[in-house]
């Protein structure tokens, strides 16, 4: 292979590869196409730069044995350093069993064998040194392309069979909220060890490199701002390396977005003077990783506002870390939520299940205190919304709900007493602080009142007192804690089938066609089938209302009650969601996938999106029938699971 004018690039990527010991293959794309092989003590790298879209580039590099060794080291699960992350990323590579239609993919994108060992081919389209002339929307588009080729490179992330209809243009990924999937069944959520873990590691320690998912925030001058693992101070050199790569590409008028290095994906996001990078071997879709970086940036803004950028205007070498003192938990809990909270990829929020009357009463209590000083009133149970009111016709973006609720719930100090703190709601207005009055009404229930008026504390304190006494008098607080204790929808409780929805599910014990006494037979059925989940082997589902920007997820049924199973499912949904939204030729309306762990079904209409996981032996036709029933069921109980009083968000 041949090099042209890219000594610096080699150095950059070589360095990156070296520091991580990854990288049998590295590729990126920028304006002039150049390929080179690059020799290091660890082996040879081939680096390719180019802009043609006409075919693959082959990147044989390391000697294959060497590559294997390194990958072993990096992906071996058992050796995971210190436990904090041991369960946080799965390393399983799913075997995509079925329906892959080879014809769908141009031959150039197939994995191929070159020089006797496996080589990954890239279609240049997928590669991600993007022209920064492109608008943000287009960037999204290019991610989607990359996602697609991801699938190609890694069968595990394969695209499912396209069941039928085509092309439902994905709406822009709008926002998110936090949500648990049931207090009692969500094991992943509880996993979080607050604060920064592995503080003593740095990029020279093997344990540090073994973490499956790193996040970095750094300044455009290369100063570390945040690192998920290890002490930022000690990672200054590593940070500088990332910065060197990113600014090198930037200087060429491009921006680097994505590098794949063996099992690792390196995703870059530039936000003015702030660079965000994730390095992961979790096999998540690029689109999801980018969104995670975006949320990370949003969290940074929530704490400091966009005016943090001014610090860098005055002094490019500004050290932002002191300004983030005491926020480790906020970031670690956010990153943790990327592996348990569906809101992190669904861009929606979820509600605490509550009877319609109770929710209306809560809404009325908030509405009652809405006045000129109050911008938003938000009643949360943990990360779930009970009710919210936007005064002055303002609406609260799901992302802002997500980031705000993460900020509040991860900061112990809010639980002590009432507080009044400046926060920035990045989607509402990323340049200014608003002020949040925060008060926990009981262990889970938290009232957040947002104002623009820095002097409004005592007023908001009064508002809170009014809301609180109203919620007490109307017993809504009691209803809320009952709901928390009860948990959410359970697949076992799905009413039995209705003849309208077709055939009986595989498990005949779950009701019969047209059986009106649904719940009885279902309950009986569940008892007889311990550990099987719901009808037709239904294990879990997520239903997202497009119109309301809210979703509801079922509790985890017994087959998914290990952290591993939940993590696997979470990642599967994440991929499913990305493939529903990210396909280059438009999105798929329905997908059915089977692998060794589950059958996954995704269904997207103009009104809702539905994702379900079944027992791997579930029959397709019964699965589809059950999905129909679940969707019907959810529409029947919509008032209890969605905040329908909300005017649709308009952004």
Residues in contact with another protein by CB under 8 A are 303-304, 322-326, 411-414, 416-423, 433, 435-436, 454-455, 457-459, 461-462, 465
Which residue lies nearer to another protein by CB, 319 or 382?
Answer: 319
Give the per-residue SS3 of 526-574: HHHCCCCCCHHHEEEEEEEECCCCEEEECCCCHHHCCHHHHHHHHHHHH
Q: What is the DSSP letter of 351?
A: B
C-alpha 285/C-alpha 151 separation (Å) is: 9
Nearest approach, Cβ of residue 318 and another protein (Å)? 13
C-alpha 73/C-alpha 263 separation (Å) is: 11
Which residue lies nearer to another protein by CB, 100 or 452?
Answer: 452
Nearest approach, Cβ of residue 319 and another protein (Å)? 11
- Per DSSP, the residues of 374-388 read -SEEEEEETTEEEEE
User: Element (H or E) spanning 278, and its range?
Assistant: strand 274-280
Whether residue 493 contacts residue 519, with contact meaning beta carbons closer than 8 Å, is answered with yes
Nearest approach, Cβ of residue 321 and another protein (Å)? 10
Whether residue 561 contacts residue 185, with contact meaning beta carbons closer than 8 Å, is answered with yes
Which residue lies nearer to another protein by CB, 168 or 420?
Answer: 420
Give the CA distances from residue 53 to residues 31, 56, 59, 124, in Å, rounded to whole numbers and listed in that order. Answer: 11, 8, 16, 5
Which residue lies nearer to another protein by CB, 326 or 530?
Answer: 326
Total count of residues recorded for the chain? 651
Nearest approach, Cβ of residue 509 and another protein (Å)? 51
Nearest approach, Cβ of residue 468 and another protein (Å)? 12
Taking alpha carbons only, the member of 516, 329, 523 closest to residue 411 is: 329
Nearest approach, Cβ of residue 329 and another protein (Å)? 8
Chain centroid to CA 504: 35
- The C-alpha R_g of the chain, in whole angstroms, comes to 25
Which residue lies nearer to another protein by CB, 318 or 610?
Answer: 318
Give the CA distances from residue 232 to residues 50, 330, 549, in Å, rounded to whole numbers and listed in that order. Answer: 34, 16, 37
Which residue lies nearer to another protein by CB, 78 or 326?
Answer: 326
Letter string b/e over residues 605-636, b meaning 16 or more CB atoms within 10 A of that residue's CB: eeebbbbbbbbbebbeebbbbbbbbbbebbee
Which residue lies nearer to another protein by CB, 458 or 547?
Answer: 458
Phi-psi region of 313 (alpha: psi -120 to 50; beta: other; left: phi over 0): alpha
Which residue lies nearer to another protein by CB, 267 or 308?
Answer: 308
Which residue lies nearer to another protein by CB, 206 or 313?
Answer: 313
State the chain's maximal CA–CA distance in angstroms.
Answer: 77
Taking alpha carbons only, the member of 547, 538, 551 closest to residue 630 is: 538
Which residue lies nearer to another protein by CB, 325 or 516?
Answer: 325
N- to C-terminal Cα distance for the chain? 49
Which residue lies nearer to another protein by CB, 41 or 326?
Answer: 326
Which residue lies nearer to another protein by CB, 195 or 253?
Answer: 195
Which residue lies nearer to another protein by CB, 319 or 498?
Answer: 319
Which residue lies nearer to another protein by CB, 288 or 320?
Answer: 320
Nearest approach, Cβ of residue 414 and another protein (Å)? 7
Whether residue 229 contacts residue 208, with contact meaning beta carbons closer than 8 Å, is answered with yes
Which residue lies nearer to another protein by CB, 267 or 304?
Answer: 304
Coil/strand/helix, residue 66: helix
Nearest approach, Cβ of residue 629 and another protein (Å)? 45
Nearest approach, Cβ of residue 458 and another protein (Å)? 5
Nearest approach, Cβ of residue 330 and another protein (Å)? 9
User: Element (H or E) spanning 276, and its range?
Assistant: strand 274-280
Whether residue 59 contacts residue 111, with contact meaning beta carbons closer than 8 Å, is answered with no
Nearest approach, Cβ of residue 416 and another protein (Å)? 6
Which residue lies nearer to another protein by CB, 421 or 474?
Answer: 421
Whether residue 423 contacts residue 408, with contact meaning beta carbons closer than 8 Å, is answered with no
Nearest approach, Cβ of residue 84 and another protein (Å)? 18
For the CA atoms of 607, 613, 618, 619, what is the dihedral angle to 10 degrees? 20
Handedness of CA 593, 598, 603, 609 (dihedral sign): negative
Enter the tokens of residue 151: 């699938």
Nearest approach, Cβ of residue 436 and another protein (Å)? 8
Nearest approach, Cβ of residue 337 and another protein (Å)? 19
Letter string b/e over residues 34-68, b meaning 16 or more CB atoms within 10 A of that residue's CB: bbbbbeeebbebbbbbbeeeeebbbbbbbebeebe
Nearest approach, Cβ of residue 637 and another protein (Å)? 37
Enter the tokens of residue 226: 């945040």
Strand partners, 264: 261
Nearest approach, Cβ of residue 547 and another protein (Å)? 35
């Amino acid at each position: 292979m041949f090099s042209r004018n890219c000594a610096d690039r080699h150095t950059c990527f070589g360095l990156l590869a070296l520091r991580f010991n990854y990288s049998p293959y590295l590729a990126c794309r920028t304006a002039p196409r150049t390929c080179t092989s690059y020799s290091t003590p660890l082996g040879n790298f081939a680096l390719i730069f180019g802009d043609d879209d006409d075919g693959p580039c082959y990147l044989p590099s390391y000697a294959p044995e060497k590559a294997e060794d390194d990958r072993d080291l990096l992906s071996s699960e058992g050796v995971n350093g210190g436990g904090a992350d041991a369960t946080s990323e799965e390393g399983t590579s799913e075997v995509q069993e079925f329906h892959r239609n080879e014809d769908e993919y141009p031959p150039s994108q197939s994995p191929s064998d070159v020089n006797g060992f496996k080589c990954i081919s890239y279609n240049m389209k997928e590669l991600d040194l993007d022209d920064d002339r492109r608008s943000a929307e287009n960037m999204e588009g290019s991610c989607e392309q990359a996602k697609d080729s991801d699938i190609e490179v890694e069968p595990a992330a394969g695209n499912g069979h396209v069941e039928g209809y085509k092309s439902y243009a994905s709406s822009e990924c709008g926002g998110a909220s936090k949500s648990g999937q049931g207090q009692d069944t969500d094991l992943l959520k509880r996993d979080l060890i607050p604060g920064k873990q592995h503080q003593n590691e740095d990029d020279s320690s093997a344990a540090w490199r073994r973490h499956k998912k790193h996040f970095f925030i750094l300044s455009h001058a290369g100063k570390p701002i945040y690192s998920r693992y290890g002490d930022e101070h000690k990672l200054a050199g590593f940070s500088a390396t990332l910065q060197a790569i990113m600014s090198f590409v930037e200087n060429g008028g491009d921006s680097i977005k994505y590098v794949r290095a063996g099992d690792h994906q390196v995703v870059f996001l530039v936000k003015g003077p702030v660079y965000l990078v994730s390095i992961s071997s979790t096999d998540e879709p690029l689109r999801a990783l980018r969104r995670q970086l975006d949320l990370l940036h949003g969290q940074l803004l929530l704490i400091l506002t966009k005016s943090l950028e001014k610090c860098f205007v005055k002094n490019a070498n500004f050290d932002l870390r002191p300004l983030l003192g005491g926020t480790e938990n906020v970031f670690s809990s956010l990153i943790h939520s990327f592996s348990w909270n569906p809101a992190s990829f669904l861009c929606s929020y979820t509600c605490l299940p509550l009877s319609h009357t109770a929710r209306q009463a809560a809404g009325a209590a908030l509405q009652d205190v809405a006045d000129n000083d109050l911008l938003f009133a938000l009643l949360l149970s943990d990360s779930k919304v009970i009710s919210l009111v936007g005064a002055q016709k303002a609406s609260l973006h799901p992302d802002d709900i997500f980031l705000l609720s993460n900020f509040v719930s991860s900061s112990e100090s809010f639980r002590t007493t009432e507080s009044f703190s400046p926060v920035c709601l990045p989607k509402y207005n990323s340049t200014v602080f608003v002020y949040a009055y925060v008060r926990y009404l009981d262990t889970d229930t938290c009232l957040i009142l947002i104002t623009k008026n820095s002097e409004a504390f005592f007023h908001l304190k009064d508002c809170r007192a009014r809301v609180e006494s109203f919620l007490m008098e109307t017993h809504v607080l009691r209803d809320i804690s009952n709901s928390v204790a009860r948990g959410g929808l359970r697949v076992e409780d799905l009413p039995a089938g209705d003849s309208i929805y077709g055939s009986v599910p595989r498990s005949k014990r779950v009701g019969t066609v047209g059986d009106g006494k649904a719940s009885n037979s279902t309950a009986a059925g569940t008892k007889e089938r311990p550990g099987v989940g719901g009808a037709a082997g239904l294990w879990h589902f997520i239903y997202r209302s497009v119109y309301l920007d809210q979703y509801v997820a079922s509790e985890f049924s017994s087959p998914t009650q290990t952290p591993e199973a939940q993590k696997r499912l979470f990642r599967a949904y994440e991929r499913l969601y990305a493939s529903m939204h990210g396909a280059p030729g438009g999105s798929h309306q329905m997908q059915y996938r089977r692998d060794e762990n589950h059958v996954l079904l995704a269904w997207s209409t103009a009104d809702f999106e539905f994702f379900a996981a079944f027992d791997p032996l579930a029959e397709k036709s019964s699965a589809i029938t059950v999905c129909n029933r679940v969707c019907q069921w959810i529409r029947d109980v919509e008032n209890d699971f969605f905040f329908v009083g909300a005017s649709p968000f308009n952004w």
